A = this chain, B = another copy of it.
Amino acid sequence: MASPIIRIDNIVKRYGPLTVLDGLSIKVMPGEKLALIGPSGSGKTTILRILMTLETISGGHIEVDGEQLYHMRKGADLISADERHLHRMRKKIGMVFQHFNLFPHKCVLDNITLAPMLTQGAGRADAEKRAMELLDMVGMADKAKAVPAQLSGGQKQRVAIARALALSPKIMLFDEVTSALDPELVEEVLNVMRRLAAETDMTMLLVTHEMGFAHDFADRVLFFDRGKIVEEGRPEEIFRNPKQERTQGFLRKIIAAGHRV
């Protein structure tokens, strides 16, 4: 059996007196598609942000692609990672945010080429060629010269996905990428993600409130509550036959509110 590409080991995350993640451990195999679901405030976003090194951790260890994320070896000791180490580790990971976070002062094409040119030393011509391929894939090739303010939410999010893909990370993180969108625009983004899931062997972690999509997309679903994993399993099991009472209650409410499973 192959070794996990992500090994989260007994992670603790505190904000002041508030413990948000409390000894969480997860293993993710290469190519696996994981959906993280659960009530608001349960720590789903936090775990993605920790993987993207946008937060610090209060305890525990994370191994990504065979290397420590927040620590590095110095002789025999494991010490806190410095900026250079983090910079190297971030190459393996890309993230798409709920609110897109496109660079508003740059056109779509420049949003995508900026990082490859600055961090991977790609030439402009190469970077733009690759960017156009990605824009083509997300169906946005005709908007290459538009600035973000001219795009609809769904279009922005497709550009954000292309931007993250441009760095060819091994792992992609998606945090509620459709929840800021008008209902009609959700589908165009989910379609892009379905293709992505089907066509690449990237490892993907997805936080979503779209149960139907989680069901179609994921190999494995983790149900979070209060910073812990309460239940996990194949989507069929979790959605059709949840074992834990909390999971049942959560799904009942969501379904009552008009979401299909």
Contact = CB atoms under 8 A, between A and B. Distances in A.
Contacts of A230: none
B258 A211 contact: yes
Contact of A210 (B182, B184, B209, B258): B258
B40 A182 contact: yes
A212 interface: yes
Given A259-B259, A260-B258, A260-B260, A209 B187 contact: no
A40 to B, nearest CB: 5
A255 B213 CA distance: 12
Interface in A33-51: 39-40
Contact of A183 (B190, B212, B254): B254
A190 to B, nearest CB: 7
Copies in the complex: 2
Contacts of A40: 182, 184
Interface in A178-233: 178, 182-184, 186-187, 190, 209-213
Q: Which of A184, A253, A254 has the most chain B CB within a 10 Å cutoff?
A: A184
Contacts of A256: 187
Q: Which of A183, A253, A254 has the most chain B CB within a 10 Å cutoff?
A: A183
A190 B258 CA distance: 10
Contacts of A259: 183, 258-260
A125 interface: no
Contact of A190 (B178, B182, B257): B257
A178 B258 CA distance: 11
Contacts of A190: 257
28 contacts: A40-B182, A178-B257, A182-B209, A183-B209, A183-B254, A183-B257, A183-B259, A184-B250, A184-B253, A184-B254, A184-B257, A186-B257, A186-B258, A187-B253, A187-B256, A187-B257, A190-B257, A210-B257, A210-B258, A211-B258, A212-B258, A213-B258, A255-B260, A258-B259, A258-B260, A259-B259, A259-B260, A260-B260
Given A211-B258, A258-B260, 5 more contacts: A183-B209, A184-B253, A184-B254, A187-B256, A190-B257
Interface of A: 39-40, 178, 182-184, 186-187, 190, 209-213, 250, 253-260
Going nearest first, the 9 A-B pairs with the smallest beta carbon separation are A212-B258, A186-B257, A260-B260, A187-B257, A187-B256, A210-B258, A183-B209, A40-B182, A184-B253
